[in-house]
Each structure stands twice: as structure tokens, then as C-alpha cells.
Amino acid sequence: MNRITYHTTPLGRVMLAAKGDALAGLWIEGQKYFADGLKGEAREQDDFPVFVQAKEWLDRYFAGEKPRISELKLEPAGSEFRKAVWEALCQIPYGEVVTYGELAQKMAVLHNRERMSAQAVGGAVGHNAISIIIPCHRVVGANGSLTGYAGGIDKKIKLLTHEGAYSESFFVPKKSTAP
């Protein structure tokens, strides 16, 4: 049985999901792939310990603190490749951005390959099951395009601005490239 709860953030209402004693999902209401990977019945349980911790983490983050991702036990559902990409996202420092190409290079080295498709990496980034905490919003296009955020480009801009990482050189492409 999955457990879920809801929390209100400056980005809007989010749904959190737990698997065992770990956080398995965090989705912004209305985002693409909402509750993706959440299988079976779910019971709402606001006071479940991992939810209490995650809500406190989110409140601290939006209050301007820089809580460590390692403070939370995370267990997003996904393939080994996606999990490796999500782990790489967790290494991007607060207030910094990387490009999809840079992330693909990192994944290529990790997998002992000459190269890795930035599109494959982008697909994994776009299916991040724990938005905000696993910072997929910190990935941008090589030319500064703000692409591929399942929560919506407006939310990505708010998160980057909140972290002081937003640059005037960033732009929203005319056609969405979200996976």
C-alpha cells in the first residue's frame, strides 16, 4: 500500500508519495507525468514520518535555507539508468545549472562509454519522480534554453530565480521540448 499526502508550496500544491519509509514521489499538481510510477492503492497519511521530514525540508528550502538532499531517504521508481541520472542531478549544487550535454558527458563517463545521448538523459531528467528535491530544474539547454521541465517552464523559472541561478541569457523556446 502506498502512502500519499499533499503540501502547499510557493509553486502550488504538491503530492508526495512514500514507499516503505522512503519518499518515492513529489509531483506538482498538473505537471506532466503526475503520479507516474505510483502503482496500486494509495492511502492518505499526513503524519507519516517521511512526509513530515519532506514537508519540513520543502518549507526550509522555500524559506531560503539550503537543506541537503541527503537529509531525506529517497526511493524514486525507475530504471537503473534513470536512477543514475537522478543521482547525478543530486550532485548539482544549489544555485548552479548544468546543460543536458554536460550531464550526458558525466553519464557517459559513469557508464564507461565514449558518449551518451543528451536526449536519453533529457528523457530521464523529464521523468524525475521527486521534483524540486531532486533538482531537475537545474538543467538547461546548451544555448540557455529553458526546456523540458515537466512541472512547467514558469515553475522552473521560479525555482532558478529562488536559488539565484536565473540568468537573463536564459530563454523559453517557442516550441516545448518536454519529454
CATH at 97 = 1.10.10.10
> Does 146 share its domain with 84?
yes
* Position with higher pLDDT, 8 vs 35: 8
Whether the per-residue pLDDT at 176 is higher than 60: the answer is no
Instruction: Grade residue 13 by pLDDT with cuts at 50, 70 and 90.
Output: very high
**Res 40: pLDDT:** 75
> Which of 34-43, 84-93, 150-159, 162-171 is predicted with the least confidence, judged by mean pLDDT?
34-43
Q: State the residue range of the domain holding 23.
A: 2-71
Q: Could you give the CA distance from residue 124 to residue 112 in angstroms, rounded to a whole number?
A: 18
Provide the CB-side half-sphere exposure for 140 (13 A, CA): 23
In this structure, are 53 and 95 located in the same domain? no
Do 125 and 151 reside in the same domain of the chain? yes
Interval 53-98: pLDDT, tens: 999 999 999 999 999 999 999 999 899 999 999 999 999 999 999 9
Question: Is the separation of the CB atoms in 2 and 24 below 8 Å?
Answer: yes
- Set 98, 132, 133, 136: catalytic member: 136
What pTM was computed for the model?
Answer: 0.91
Residue 49 lies in a domain: yes
Q: Check: CB of residue 157 under 8 Å from CB of residue 148.
A: no
Q: 2 and 40 in contact (C-beta within 8 Å)?
A: yes
> Are 26 and 130 contacting, i.e. CB atoms less than 8 angstroms apart?
yes
Q: What is the mean pLDDT of residues 165-169?
A: 91
E strand map for the chain: 2-9, 12-19, 22-28, 42-44, 98-99, 139-140
3-state secondary structure at position 145 = strand
Q: Residue 1: its pLDDT value, please?
A: 65
The helix/strand/coil state of 28 is strand
Domain limit, last residue, from 71, 95, 114:
71
Residue 51 sits in a domain of what CATH number? Answer: 3.30.160
- Judge whether residue 177 has pLDDT over 90: no
Annotated catalytic residue 136: yes
| 61: phi then psi, degrees, rounded to nearest 5 | -60, -50
Number of structural domains the chain divides into:
2
pLDDT over 90 at 7, yes or no: yes
Same domain, yes or no: 149 and 106: yes
Q: What is the pLDDT of residue 28?
A: 93
